[in-house]
A and B are shown apart, each in its own frame.
Chain A
């Protein structure tokens, strides 16, 4: 039980600090873009909700127009439902985001610290940093290749399909990196390369429509998420490597 306690304590502290650091970084990176994208999303939804003059639209392809309307209507009510609780803009929203970041940080730290214990445990911040870079490759980089991080207003394929592909890609990439790092046979390396490439050969679920926000905004958001993820994982890994020996001695 000693080991379990050490892993959980280390991960809790690492996750708390890395989550708070990410919250700070997001305020400069992703958060302004989320707010900007939501303004565009809201404007699109309002435009779609306005009644159309069907007589005037008569010269257009009516079927296409209806499909467009349906898509817009679906988008308009897919979130921000009035009945559902949501944090109010401002401090409340910020605090819930910070809490969610810390929860995600603790979860990812548990995965990283537990996995590294299988190899005897982290002994230095530098070793932790390398594990953190692997975490970045597994949970940020690999899923983002097929499923670029979506700003609000960017419509994706069915949520469950994307979640399955995201998890499958992370698992395959983690297994591949582990084989490269710890197995010695060339066949293992070959299998690793195949594992890492496989999700992208299979392909991620495709979005039904092009993004409804400006390209600059969409692209800027993808970059911001990936760079934020890089900093988050570097901090998380280095902290785990720095703190783990101190907990193990206690």
Chain B
């Protein structure tokens, strides 16, 4: 019984240790996709213009 509890605590701790890097990497991904597809600064828009149309991001 105590073994099971210990194992559970360990799993929870391991998951917690994994959560921070995973969430950080995910948020970095959100940031990068936003830069490629959503930023409306004219120079960024013009550079990414064909890509935005071709991926189906809302453009203009």
User: Which residues of A approach B to under 8 Å, CB–CB?
Assistant: 1-4, 7-8, 11, 22, 26, 29-31, 34, 78-79, 81, 84-87, 93, 96-97, 99-101, 103-104, 106-111, 113-115, 117-118, 140, 143-144, 147, 149-152, 156, 159, 162-163, 166, 225-226, 228-229, 232
Contact B56 A144 (CB under 8 A): yes
Enumerate chain B residues within 8 angstroms of A159, measured Cβ to Cβ. 40, 58-60
A166 touching B18 in the complex, CB below 8 Å, given contacts A106-B32, A107-B33: no
| Chain B proximity of A1: nearest CB distance (Å) | 7
Enumerate chain B residues within 8 angstroms of A78, measured Cβ to Cβ. 60
Contact A84 B33 (CB under 8 A): no
Contact B50 A93 (CB under 8 A): yes
Contact A118 B22 (CB under 8 A): yes
| Chain B proximity of A223: nearest CB distance (Å) | 12
Once the chains are docked, how many angstroms separate the CA of A87 from the CA of B45?
A: 11
Contact B36 A114 (CB under 8 A): no
A3 touching B55 in the complex, CB below 8 Å, given contacts A104-B33, A107-B35: no
Of A7, A34, A99, A103, the contact of B32 (CB 8 Å cutoff)? A103
Contact A100 B56 (CB under 8 A): no
Q: List 13 A–B pairs whose Cβ atoms lie within 8 Å, in order of A's numbering.
A: A7-B22, A26-B54, A34-B53, A81-B42, A96-B47, A106-B32, A110-B32, A114-B23, A114-B26, A151-B53, A152-B53, A156-B60, A163-B38
Contact A149 B56 (CB under 8 A): yes
Q: Residue on A with the closest CB to B57? A: A166
Q: Residue on A with the closest CB to B42? A: A84
Of A7, A96, A99, A225, the contact of B25 (CB 8 Å cutoff)? A7
Contact B30 A111 (CB under 8 A): yes
Once the chains are docked, how many angstroms separate the CA of A97 from the CA of B59?
A: 14
| Tally of chain B residues near chain A (CB < 8 A) | 37
Once the chains are docked, how many angstroms separate the CA of A111 from the CA of B55?
A: 16
Enumerate chain A residues within 8 angstroms of B47, measured Cβ to Cβ. 86-87, 96, 99-100
Once the chains are docked, how many angstroms separate the CA of A99 from the CA of B53?
A: 14
Of A108, A110, A166, the contact of B58 (CB 8 Å cutoff)? A166
User: Which residues of B approach A to under 8 Å, CB–CB?
Assistant: 18, 21-26, 28-38, 40, 42-43, 45-60
Contact B21 A104 (CB under 8 A): no
Q: Residue on A with the closest CB to B15? A: A118
Contact A30 B54 (CB under 8 A): yes
| Chain A proximity of B27: nearest CB distance (Å) | 9
Once the chains are docked, how many angstroms separate the CA of A202 from the CA of B30?
A: 24
Q: Residue on A with the closest CB to B19? A: A118
Enumerate chain B residues within 8 angstroms of A86, measured Cβ to Cβ. 43, 46-47, 49
Enumerate chain A residues within 8 angstroms of B38, measured Cβ to Cβ. 163
Once the chains are docked, how many angstroms separate the CA of A235 from the CA of B40?
A: 28
Among A99, A150, A151, the most chain B Cβ lie within 10 Å of the Cβ of A150
Enumerate chain B residues within 8 angstroms of A22, measured Cβ to Cβ. 54
Enumerate chain B residues within 8 angstroms of A85, measured Cβ to Cβ. 42-43, 46
